[in-house]
Amino acid sequence: MLTQIKRNIVQGFVNFWRNGWVSLATVLIMVVTLFVFGSLFFSNVILTSSLEKLADKVDINVYFKVTANENDITDLKSSLEKLAEVKQIAYISREQALKNFQEKHSENALITQSLDELGENPLGASLNVTAKDPNQYESISKFLESQNYEAIIDKVNYHENKKVIEGLNLMIKSSRTSGLTSTIVLGIIAILVAFNTIRLAIYTAKDEISIMRLVGATNAYIRGPFVVEGAIHGVLATIITMAVFWLPLSLGRDNIILLFLPFSPIPDVSGVSTAEFYGGPDLFHYYISNFIVIFLLLLVLGIVLGVISSLIATRRYLKV
Amino acid sequence: MIYFDRVSKVYSPTSIALEEVSFTIEPQEFVSLVGQSGAGKSTLLKLLLAEEHPSSGKVFFESLDMHKVSNSDLPKVRRRMGVVFQDYKLLPTKTAYENIAFAMEAADKNEEEIQQDVPQVLELVGLMDKAWHFPSELSGGELQRVAIARAIVNRPDVIIADEPTGNLDPINTWEIINLLEKINELGTTVVLATHDKEVINSLKRRVITLEKGKVVRDEKRGRYIL
């Protein structure tokens, strides 16, 4: 049993070497497949982090009347904090609001003068509320209306921002859907191409398989070298793919990955790196810090693809 | 040792390869199967190797019903039969030595046995100097001798040769037939399918004649009569 396995492994390497061009072509096709998967993986990273960034920028402000008691505001704040939807609340006191306002308009003499003239702080306190999901602003706003805070709340700016928030929600949703669709479609195409290449390579060996059967080799013994060869293809393809990713990413030209995808949600980013374009993640940094994970992911995919394709392809000629 | 019991093979109503064929082959016999192309010789050998299944009747190899042997046991039974074909059926990506060694590896023999036996059979067929040549670098006669070496290396009980001299010139034909006779003298049963009149007449061994799928003659010291 052990010698059989050893022979299978040795024979797998010998076959790989002797098949020369066929092996090379198979590995290259597999590189394309793994590259598609890697690109899908990276564009998901970009998409997710950009969408998160966008979603983080959305918030609502609750403005309080100048007369509002600070204790009432703290009450409201703590009851908001108990809501599951709320991610973060920032309290801006009247003094803070004034200070912010002054800083913002420090260049404008007219405004500074008017403020001085006024003598007292005309600004109310406010709460800045960020939800965990942009979809949840509606319910947070409803919550604020339903409570009896009319006496202290001046206005909630949700209604002004409603259109923008809803539009953004729609965009996020459709980007996620199109991202998922393109992942699935391209993934299936890539797998089929690799599978068929391996099948064709084994097709050329169908006479050999029948000879081996006649000489009295067991099915497992015949299959062994093909499976080993499939695994070798997977390993080599993974190494080459990792190298292929390294080059453009290290040059900051990570948009190459996005241009590779026809369904990419990004219309035209040629000449700009995604980091510049989005303020999103630096893909090269991401690639380096997740090198092991990406490598293992592609390796498993490559080996599984190679081995399973070989098993299915030989199955036909072994009549199992 | 080999027993065909009223074996028929029908591919379609208009294509009947074998019809109610029965015969017995004893151990250490040298049997020739003769008949025109399409008489059913190859079908008969394929049934014996369990490459195809009979439409009716049974094929026995010793006490084994060949068509009841499970898929997983079939390789073990096939290792007891050495096969030689008209088109050699050597593995093109392996050298002569590796082709022979492959049959031993498949039979789960260890390295020592392989290193000892392969040169021996190469010596027997006279190809020691061409051991590391690939099939594409060998002549027809040499290829067939490699195929015979592969067939005998596991010391099978029977050698099944399907038109082994069909592609060879007269001199190579005699060398192959002499080899088969030598193997038979060493105690191995030989079943030889051929339509070479000269070969049959000079062998003076048992001849089973097939015609249109039926056994028409079975003689102990037969001649080629059609």
- Nearest-by-Cβ selection for A211 from B72, B81, B91: B91
In chain A, which residues have their Cβ closer than 8 Å to the Cβ of B61? none
Q: H-type helices in A204-253, by residue range?
A: 206-215, 219-250
* For residue B51, pLDDT beyond 80: yes
Which one of B78, B99, B143 makes the best mutation probe of the A interface by having the most chain A beta carbons within 10 Å? B78
Residue contact B83–A4, C-beta within 8 A: no
Question: Residue B56's pLDDT band (boundaries 50, 70, 90)?
Answer: very high
Written out in words, the top-level CATH class of the domain with range B27-40+72-219 is: alpha beta
Residue contact B79–A216, C-beta within 8 A: yes
| A186-190, B25-29, B30-34: the lowest-pLDDT one | A186-190
**A91 found inside a domain:** yes
State the pLDDT at residue B142: 94
Which one of B42, B45, B102 makes the best mutation probe of the A interface by having the most chain A beta carbons within 10 Å? B102
Query: Which residue in A has a C-alpha nearest to residue B148's C-alpha?
Result: A215
Please name which of B1, B23, B3 lies closest in space to residue B219, comparing C-alpha atoms. B23
What is the C-alpha to C-alpha distance for residues B58 and B102, in angstroms, rounded to an integer? 31
State the pLDDT at residue B60: 93
Residue A265 DSSP label: S
Residue contact B78–A216, C-beta within 8 A: yes
- For the stretch B17-29, what's the b/e string if a residue is b when 16 or more beta carbons lie within 10 angstroms of its beta carbon? bbbebebebeeeb
Backbone torsions φ then ψ of B118, nearest 5 degrees: -60, -50
**A165 found inside a domain:** no
Distances (CA, A) of B218 to A184, A314, B201: 67, 42, 14
**Tens of pLDDT, residues A26-63:** 899 889 888 888 887 877 777 777 777 777 777 888 88
My answer on whether A50 and A73 are in the same domain is no
In chain B, which residues have their Cβ closer than 8 Å to the Cβ of A211? 89-91
My answer on whether A178 and A288 are in the same domain is yes
State the pLDDT at residue A266: 47
State the pLDDT at residue B120: 93
State the pLDDT at residue A290: 81
| A50-64, B35-49, B102-116, B145-159: the lowest-pLDDT one | A50-64
Please name which of B37, B110, B89 lies closest in space to residue A2, comparing C-alpha atoms. B110
Greater pLDDT, B118 or A129: B118
Predicted ipTM beyond 0.85:
no
In chain B, which residues have their Cβ closer than 8 Å to the Cβ of A219? 71, 75
Number of domains in chain A: 2
How long is chain B? 226
For A209-212, the CB contacts below 8 A with 24+ separation are A209/A314, A209/A317, A209/A318, A210/A317, A211/B89, A211/B90, A211/B91, A212/B91, A212/B102, A212/B106
- Nearest-by-Cβ selection for B91 from A19, A208, A213: A208
My answer on whether A219 and A265 are in the same domain is yes
Query: Which residue among A151, A180, A203 closes a domain?
Result: A151
My answer on whether A119 and A16 are in the same domain is no
What is the C-alpha to C-alpha distance for residues A43 and A204, in angstroms, rounded to an integer? 38
My answer on whether A90 and A190 are in the same domain is no
**A156 found inside a domain:** no
What is the bridge-based pairing of β-strands A60-64 and B56-61?
unpaired
My answer on whether A253 and A124 are in the same domain is no
Query: Which residue among A87, A122, A151 closes a domain?
Result: A151
Residue contact B76–A320, C-beta within 8 A: no
Please name which of A111, A114, A91, A93 lies closest in space to residue A103, comparing C-alpha atoms. A111
State the pLDDT at residue A256: 54
What is the C-alpha to C-alpha distance for residues A165 and A177, in angstroms, rounded to an integer? 18
| Through-space distance between the first and last CA atoms of chain A, rounded to whole angstroms | 21
**Taking a C-beta distance cutoff of 8 angstroms, is the pair B67, B50 a contact?**
yes
What is the C-alpha to C-alpha distance for residues A254 and B192, in angstroms, rounded to an integer? 69
Query: Which residue among A87, A116, A151 closes a domain?
Result: A151
Greater pLDDT, B222 or A236: A236
Greater pLDDT, A100 or B152: B152
Determine the 3-state secondary structure of B88 from DSSP: coil
My answer on whether A313 and A179 are in the same domain is yes
Residue B186 tokens, joined: 């060493």
State the pLDDT at residue A320: 54
Please give the distance of CA A252 from its chain centroid, rounded to a whole number: 18
Listed in order, strand segments (DSSP E) in chain A are 60-64, 86-92, 126-131, 153-156
From first to last of its 320 residues, chain A has per-residue pLDDT tens of 788 888 889 989 988 998 888 889 889 988 988 888 888 787 777 777 777 777 777 788 888 888 877 788 888 888 888 887 788 888 888 888 888 888 888 788 888 788 778 777 878 888 888 888 777 887 888 877 777 777 778 878 876 777 777 787 788 788 778 878 887 888 888 788 888 888 888 888 888 888 888 888 888 889 999 999 999 999 999 999 998 888 777 766 555 555 444 444 444 444 445 555 554 556 777 777 888 888 999 999 999 988 988 888 888 888 75
- For the stretch A56-77, what's the b/e string if a residue is b when 16 or more beta carbons lie within 10 angstroms of its beta carbon? eebbbbbbbeeebeeeebeebe
**A163 found inside a domain:** no
- Nearest-by-Cβ selection for B93 from A4, A18, A319: A18
* For residue B122, pLDDT beyond 90: yes
My answer on whether A71 and A50 are in the same domain is no
Amino acid at B160: I
- Nearest-by-Cβ selection for B103 from A4, A216, A319: A216
Alpha-carbon distance B123 to nearest alpha carbon in chain A (angstroms): 21
Q: Output the domain CATH number for residue A94.
A: 3.30.70.3040
**Tens of pLDDT, residues A135-163:** 788 788 887 777 777 777 887 887 677 77
Residue B79 tokens, joined: 């290792």
What is the bridge-based pairing of β-strands B158-162 and B81-85?
parallel
What is the C-alpha to C-alpha distance for residues B31 and A33, in angstroms, rounded to an integer? 56
Q: Containing domain of residue A97, as a range?
A: 66-151
In chain B, which residues have their Cβ closer than 8 Å to the Cβ of A212? 91, 102, 106
**Taking a C-beta distance cutoff of 8 angstroms, is the pair A280, A265 a contact?**
no
My answer on whether A78 and A179 are in the same domain is no
State the pLDDT at residue A167: 80
**A61 found inside a domain:** no
My answer on whether A85 and A234 are in the same domain is no
Please, what sign has the CA dihedral across residues A268, A270, A275, A276?
negative
My answer on whether A49 and A76 are in the same domain is no
Q: In chain B, what are the domain boundaries? A: 27-40+72-219
State the pLDDT at residue A264: 46
Alpha-carbon distance A215 to nearest alpha carbon in chain B (angstroms): 6
Question: Residue B149's pLDDT band (boundaries 50, 70, 90)?
Answer: very high
